[in-house]
Amino acid sequence: ALILGLESSCDDSAVALVTSDRQVIAQRVVGQNQAHAPFGGVVPEIAARAHVEVLPGLVTQVLDEAGIALAEVDAIAATAGPGLIGGVMVGLLTAKGLALASGKPLVAVNHLEGHALSPRLVDPALGFPYLLLLASGGHCQLLEVRGVGDYRRLATTIDDAAGEAFDKAAKLLGLPYPGGPAIEVLARQGDPTAVPLPRPLVGSPEPHFSFAGLKSAVQRAVAAGSHRPADIAASFQQAVVDCFIDRTRRALQASDAPSLVVAGGVAANSAVRAALQQLGADEGRAFSVPPGWLCTDNAAMIAWAGAERFAAGLIDGLDAPARARWPLDERAEAVRGAGV
Ligand code: ATP
Ligand code: FE
């Protein structure tokens, strides 16, 4: 099947055409960093307006580039949440318009399911179930992915998300938004053992996460003025990696899932990727991580989740709601082991 996917839940407008046999036919991502830069973070109203201006043109460009007519597409998938509600509404309503005009079915995709299933787009050997560390701008969770729409949440963050921690630490260091890539680059010139920083919740029995205390410690280290910024960046990144490893190991010990996966924007970080890969080897699990472009927000993962849901017979009506909040482990109509 051929699936058109739309993503607009944060500050990236994205459109992709993906097949159920894992071909990314065409895709475009247009970010809005310049529009939000003066404000030091994403402004929801500005984001929504930018999606209105950009998204329909991206649909045309992607279809043209692929040489595909809308009539040849089998389904139209769009992020229906969670995210900044204005942007979600723009993308979902654009998809509804396309579905209405073409008579093709709509697939309303949970953005987190897009991240969760993204590794399967590039790794055909990755079957269900797998243990997923989902580390993104708004989330930090450990989930057992049992099938399309079938998720069991083992742990979450009790305060900040992992990507949020990177963004806040970057801001404290005077680095631009988004902070993750900037911290990663600066950390390469730093000593990860130079600045003593806490590893919140490490060693606790439940595999939950916490990053607020780490951020406060970075704030104190910056204020002290006695450390090189590169050393703070490297030490911060190492602290996050150490939390990931300890918490994920704990979850693996309670799960017999044969594979370990890390996805979401923070999985683009090479220190995170290397450490999780080593953990998988140590714990005797297969390891999978999507390429960087598939970790940060994109529409190929939404089209792919749409392909998986479409294959499982999960399509949605034109009354599908846009949802600011939408936990991944909530779906009632789970189809265990189904999908492409
Ligand atoms: P969510 O998916 O939870 O709704 P989001 O869509 O805004 O949130 P993503 O696009 O999945 O988040 O991820 C963006 C986050 O990933 C940002 O916080 C960003 O700083 C972080 N990030 C991106 N690249 C890197 C990197 N190389 N190292 C660390 N963090 C990174
Ligand atoms: Fe995301």
Give the mean pLDDT of 87-113. Answer: 98
Under 8 Å CB-to-CB from 23, ≥6 apart: which residues? none
pLDDT tens across 189-211, in order?
A: 999 999 999 999 999 999 999 99
pLDDT tens across 105-161, in order?
A: 999 999 999 999 999 999 999 999 999 999 999 999 999 999 999 999 999 999 999
Q: Give residues whose Cβ lies within 5 Å of ion ligand 2.
A: 136, 297
How far, in Å, CA of 196 to CA of 86, rounded? 41
Around ligand 1, the residues with Cβ closer than 6 Å are: 10, 83, 111, 115, 136-139, 163-164, 166-167, 178-181, 184, 264-266, 268-269, 296-297
How far, in Å, CA of 140 to CA of 333, rounded? 24
pLDDT tens across 12-69, in order?
A: 999 999 999 999 999 999 999 888 888 878 999 999 999 999 999 999 999 999 999 9
Residue minimizing CA distance to atom 8 of ligand 1: 137
pLDDT at 337: 54
Annotated binding-site residue numbers for Fe cation: 111, 115, 297
pTM equals: 0.96
Ligand 2 centroid to residue 67 C-alpha, Å: 28
Under 8 Å CB-to-CB from 308, ≥6 apart: which residues? 117, 120, 148, 338, 339, 340
Q: CA dihedral in degrees (183, 185, 191, 194; nearest 10)?
A: -20
